[in-house]
A and B are shown apart, each in its own frame.
Chain A
Amino acid sequence: MSSPSLEEFQANALGTSTKIEDVFDAFEFLDDWEERYSYIIDLGKALPNFPDAQRKEENYVHGCQSQVWLIDRYDEASDTLYFLIDSDAIIVKGLAAIVLATLNAKSPSEIHKMDVEAIFERIDLMRHISATRGNGLRSMLELVKKSAATRLT
């Protein structure tokens, strides 16, 4: 199966037109868990389509309670790293959307330098990053960071 084209990766609004700042802004107005999670569910539902053919073992993110897939694409010309993520659990998809809003379509060195813990702390998602939760957030972040690390010049 051929991997998705660069255009398909670039079509992802998360990290390009939708930034983590937008997520921060939205969270400001959400004051209870129900509203916050409804927002995460909405983000999950709106996650860009993941190519069916890429839901395969080599793209599978292990160690999660739900199934998670992640693919990346590095555009050398613009020094930009793109990601697509998918899961069968909506909340995990919503968390993936936040990961992408934070880290998608950036240069490897920008991703490498990003203090994701601080960002997630700001929106009270740190609890989700704890390894035991098994919801995949930590694994997703590790893979994104690793992908960036291998492309550092």
Chain B
Amino acid sequence: MSTQRSVSELRQDFKILDQEINGKPLIYFDSAASTQKPEQVVEAMRAYYYNDNANVHRGAHTLGDRATSGFEGARDKVVHFLNAASRKEIIWTKGTTEAMNLVANGLAPRLNKGDEIIVSRMEHHANIVPWQMLAERIGAVVKVLDVSENGDILVEQLDTLITAKTKILACTHVSNVLGTIIPIKEIVARAKANNVITVIDGAQATPHFKVDVQALDCDFYAFSAHKIFGPTGIGVLYGKEALLEEMPPYQGGGEMIERVSFEGTTFNQLPYKFEAGTPPISQAVGVGAALDYLNSADRKAMEAHEQALLTQAIELSKGIPGMRLIGESSNKVAVMSFLIEGLHPSDIGTLLDQQGIGIRTGHHCAMPLMEYLGVPGTARASFAFYNTAEEVERLFEALAKIQRMFT
């Protein structure tokens, strides 16, 4: 066993962070939108293109075999990453958004007019709109699971919200705006007791802590590779085999078929049934490298480091008059949404960028949550393990400076 590298050593793998923006050292606090990629991921993708590139599952040649084994090997790593029961349960998608659309489409045959789909109020649009589109198509109803003032889900509300007509419950594991970690296991248990299918958005959970889909016992779970230090253009849908088996294909084309004739076409087995066309091969290789990277690191130490940054930020926020934190659950990942009295989030974002600091501002693709909170948007600083305490300090110095500019 090689000794694990410390969290501060890992930062060296992210060369992109060593640059200046507007004459100041870059501070990247927008990892919730997309994380940076360690050189191990970039290198794996480069090596794939330099040495192994070919199409998968078909060529009767060596490169085709290498590409296939890189691609399928990455799937096996995802099985391990989520603790899925089998590789048939891991479908490559473009990302969380496509995963949600795939599930919504696949569950359509199970729904009848008047059936209900429960969606939490803190969902990203990716876990709202596909359900609205499905409801529209079937004549089903979307019902909202509420959020408390400090940013938790009102789990007890499920007792009254779930009825005999409820078929699906879609909920995020971690809020991209508030950072709240949702007690998914408890929510799934309540849904299951009523035969409700659970679809969990893991886009913001997977970057921060280990997820075990079998322990959660959810029916579906989705995440995006670009948020877990992997490449863009690829993500994962986990689904329980029996449900995936029953679902119709999402798209038709090559790869997803067993036999095609004009008399009738038979579909390929899982997981290929849901992977029409040439898949994102180099990206899958990148995912494999990202998972290797996370596995070789001390994830508990990374988590502790991120939590320390969050605690530090919450403490420093008290020193900025009029600064209000949005989302104050006691159970949070390192995401800090905030407002400062008299400053528009977009003003904050522009003036932080001038100081080399990148945050996200706006509605964060969660307009229903913004409406509920009664704010037009927020400023959001999100931290990853490669961020440092010194960077958090500089954020607050920068915010204090901005505040001075406005007075």
Contact = CB atoms under 8 A, between A and B. Distances in A.
A37 interface: yes
Given A65-B362, A88-B376, A37 B405 contact: yes
Contacts of A88: 344, 376
Given A33-B22, A88-B376, A66 B405 contact: no
A91 B354 contact: no
Given A65-B362, A65-B377, A34 B405 contact: yes
A92 B347 CA distance: 8
A141 interface: no
Interface in B359-389: 361-362, 376-377
B53 to A, nearest CB: 31
Nearest to B22: A33
Interface string B321-352: 00000000000000000000001111101110
A67 interface: yes
Contacts of B351: 37, 91
Contact of B347 (A33, A38, A89): A89
B354 A135 contact: no
A135 B346 contact: yes
B354 A89 contact: no
Interface size class of B (residues with CB under 8 A): 10 to 19
B405 A38 contact: yes
Interface string A60-80: 000001110000000000000
B406 A90 contact: yes
Interface in B393-407: 401, 405-406
A77 to B, nearest CB: 38
A28 B362 CA distance: 33
B346 A91 contact: yes
Contacts of A89: 344-347
A23 interface: no
A66 B350 contact: no
B376 A135 contact: no
Interface residues of A, number: 15
Interface in A30-80: 33-34, 37-38, 41, 65-67
Nearest to A40: B350
Contact of B346 (A34, A37, A66): A66
A37 B351 CA distance: 8
A105 to B, nearest CB: 27
B406 A41 contact: yes
A34 B400 CA distance: 13
Contacts of B350: 37, 91, 135
Nearest to B355: A33
A33 B344 contact: no
Specify which of B344, B362, B376, B377 lies most central, judged by the most chain A CB atoms within 10 Å of its CB: B344
Contacts of B346: 65-66, 89, 91-92, 134-135
A100 to B, nearest CB: 19
B51 to A, nearest CB: 35
Contacts of B345: 65, 89
Contact of A90 (B344, B361, B362, B376): B344
B354 A37 contact: yes
Most chain A CB within a 10 A radius of its CB, from B22, B350, B362: B350
Nearest to B406: A41
A55 to B, nearest CB: 13
A134 B346 CA distance: 9
A132 to B, nearest CB: 12
Contacts of A37: 350-351, 354, 405
Interface of A: 33-34, 37-38, 41, 65-67, 88-92, 134-135
Given A37-B354, A65-B346, 5 more contacts: A65-B362, A66-B344, A89-B345, A90-B344, A135-B350
Interface of B: 22, 343-347, 349-351, 354, 361-362, 376-377, 401, 405-406
24 contacts: A33-B22, A34-B401, A34-B405, A37-B350, A37-B351, A37-B354, A37-B405, A41-B406, A65-B345, A65-B346, A65-B362, A65-B377, A66-B344, A66-B376, A67-B376, A89-B346, A90-B344, A91-B344, A91-B346, A91-B347, A91-B350, A92-B344, A92-B346, A134-B362
